[in-house]
Every structure is written in structure tokens, then in C-alpha cells.
Structure 1
Amino acid sequence: MQNVLAVCSFDMLFTYVMARWEGTCPPPPRKYYLVDAGYTNKRGFLAPYRNVRYWLGNYRGRATPQNKEEVFNQLHPSLRNVIERTFGVWKARFPILKRMASYPFDVQVRIVPATMAIHNFIRKKKLHDSLFEQFQSTTVDEDRSTEQLFPQVRPENDQIEMNRVRDEIASQLVSRR
């Protein structure tokens, strides 16, 4: 089994892929992976505030954010949503991704970027595509709480630093409203 690091843009295009890597790959300074509450908010990983309204469904209707933490958490899943939809289109279009283990490892490594390149070609050429249409109009609204699955961990220095970064972003969001 291989690890794949992929980055996508807000227009549902893959902008970076690294297949066949081991361990972790830290992002460049002042860049962050947007992660869900299943991850610890630590260096390079920007997670939502815990124990604060988060899922998109919590903000439908009249529910408006009451503080900077809720403002941040309201926007966080909206950004993550495009990532979920991009990967949803990719996985739905290429069922071979679910059967990779039957191929030699060097073939598996080449399949990932090849399928992402085809995905990008279809998206960029704006071809009539039912998968993009289907995923363009839907939102990924997770009903389960990852808070229950992943308990809060003891803060470390890099977690404290990312908490500061998140607070700074949340404060800027509130001041711009």
C-alpha cells in the first residue's frame, strides 16, 4: 500500500501530488493542511476549534456565528468541502483506485498522477461531465462527530503555536465582517 499526498485548488483541480512517499511531508512555512477535527491542531495542520459548532448543517437557516471560534468553524468546513468533493469525483471516476493492490507497486505509483491528470483535463476543458455536475451541487455534510472518535490530546509546543495561528485567523475573519 502506498501513501499519497495530494493538494487541490478551490476549482476542484489537483495542483500537487506526491505518490510513493513515506512518513510525513511538512508544508512550507505559513502554509497549512486543512484538516478535520480528527487531527490535532499542530504545526502544518489547521483543525477546527473543538467543542464549538462545526458542521455545515449547524449553520443553516438563522443560526449565525456568535464568536470568532464559530466564525472560523463556519468557514472551515466550507473550505474542506471542496476538497471532499474533488476527491469524491476522482474516486468515483476511477474505480481502479479501489483495486490497486492487485497491481505491482511501481504501476500503482504511476496510476495515481495519471488519473489526476485526466481528472484535471476534464475539469479544465469544461467538458459536459455528470460527475462534476453531481459533486458541484452537493455539499459534504458530515453527521458524525469526530470529537467522539478522537479525544483531545495534551498540547505540545507546535500545537500551541497552531492554536495561536488559528486564533489570529479567526480574529481577522471577525474584524472583516
Structure 2
Amino acid sequence: MPFNFLFLLDMAIEIERKFLVTSEAFKKEAFNSYAIKQGFLNSHKERTVRVRLKEDSGYLTIKGKSTANGLVRFEWEKEISKNDAEHLLKLCEEGIIDKIRYEVKYGNHIFEVDEFFGANEGLIIAEIELNSEIESFEKPKWLGNEVTGSVKYYNSQLSLYPFKDWE
């Protein structure tokens, strides 16, 4: 069977850095927020298959293995119906993630700040997507220690080993 190159057109390279958040000051700066419920059909370290329900839309996402520094990985995402997402969430591995995502514009970038609930309550992580691994950006005062590449902060791992169980 020939390889389908059209599949590659939907793929993207994700360059992302993650940080802990030190206060809730970001909430006053947010221009948008929405609830997210997500689960994993596959949370293997080589690839993850995620189902996400965001408001009235669903998404199916496949992410590849991160580079050694945790900054870069392949990502493929397809929008699906809310109904399909709700059904697929029932097939996911244990450990559904519930969070509110806040979008905060700071400088020339947008930070996505996730406030987790349920088994991950108390954890707040900010992510910023970049165009290159060396791209500079302004850091807001509420941005704490960088956790890019620390696997325990990946959503797929938070579903298996939630924040409430950390020592």
C-alpha cells in the first residue's frame, strides 16, 4: 500500500516550553478561558493518543515522542464532534483530566495556563508555543520554575500519576 503524503499535511511540529505558576495573578490578565476534559486512548512514551472535549467541540490528537530536551515533538490534531468525543472519553485509560485553560497575552506571545481539578487540583502549569527552540519571550511575574521536558508534568502522565499522589 503506498504511503499517503496528505496525512503529513495535517502534522505539525510543536515547540513548547512549560512552567509552574506561582500565583493566580494570571486570571486577571486572561482574555479567554474555557473548560477542558481530556483522556488518553494511549499514553505510551513513544506516542500519545488524546481525546479532548473543549466546550462544544471535540478533538483527537496524536503526539509523538519529545526530543531529549522536551521542547519539540510531532503533533497531529483533528476536530471531531462533541458526541464522538464524549463516546471516546468512555474508552480512555483511567485518569480523566479536568482543567480550565486561561489564555494570557504577554508581550508578543500567548501563554496557555492550565488550572487542574480533581486528582490534579492545586497544580497550575503555563505553556508557551514558540516558532523556534531559541526564540526569546517576555516572562510574566507569575511564571515560576521551568518544567519543560519533565515527563511527570505531561498531561498523559498526570492522568496516570496525579499531582495528589506526589510526595
TM over 0.5: no
- Greater C-alpha radius of gyration: 1
Whose helix proportion is higher, 1 or 2?
A: 1
Structure-1-length-normalised TM-score: 0.27
